[in-house]
Amino acid sequence: MGANNYYLAFAPDAMRRAVITAAKSIGLNVLRAPAFLDCGIAGPDEVPDGAWRGVYFQYWNLKTGRPELNVGENGLARLDILIADAEQAGMRLILPLVNYWNDFGGMDRYVAWFGGRSRADFYRSPDSRAAYRSYVSQILERTNTVTGRRYIDEPAILAWELANEPRCETGDGIRVFLDWVREMSRWIKQKDPNHLVAVGDEGFFANGSTELYNGIYGVDCEAILQIADIDFGTFHMYPQAWKQTDGIGFGFRWIEDHLLAGCKAGKPMILEEYGMTVGGKEGLASATERDSIYRKWLSSIYEEGGAGDLAWMIASTDEETGEPYENYDRFTFYADVDVPSICAHAVDMNAGTGNPEA
Cβ atoms 9, 33 nearer than 8 A:
yes
What span, in angstroms and rounded, lies between the C-alpha atoms of 99 and 281? 28
Collapsing DSSP to helix, strand or coil, 151 comes out as: helix
> Amino acid identity of 259?
L
40 sits in which H/E element: strand 38-42
> Amino acid identity of 53?
R
Residue 252 DSSP class: H
Collapsing DSSP to helix, strand or coil, 253 comes out as: helix
DSSP H stretches of helix in the chain: 13-26, 76-89, 106-113, 120-124, 126-141, 173-191, 221-225, 247-265, 287-303, 340-351
What span, in angstroms and rounded, lies between the C-alpha atoms of 265 and 231? 11
End-to-end alpha-carbon separation of the chain, Å?
Answer: 18
What span, in angstroms and rounded, lies between the C-alpha atoms of 277 and 327? 10
Q: Which residues are catalytic?
A: 165, 273
> Amino acid identity of 136?
V
Beta bridge partners, 68, equal 59
Give 292-304 as a 3 state SS string: HHHHHHHHHHHHC
Spatial CB neighbours of 68, under 8 Å, sequence gap ≥ 6: 58, 59, 60, 61
- Peptide bond before residue 237 is cis, with ω within 30 degrees of 0: no
- Peptide bond before residue 313 is cis, with ω within 30 degrees of 0: yes
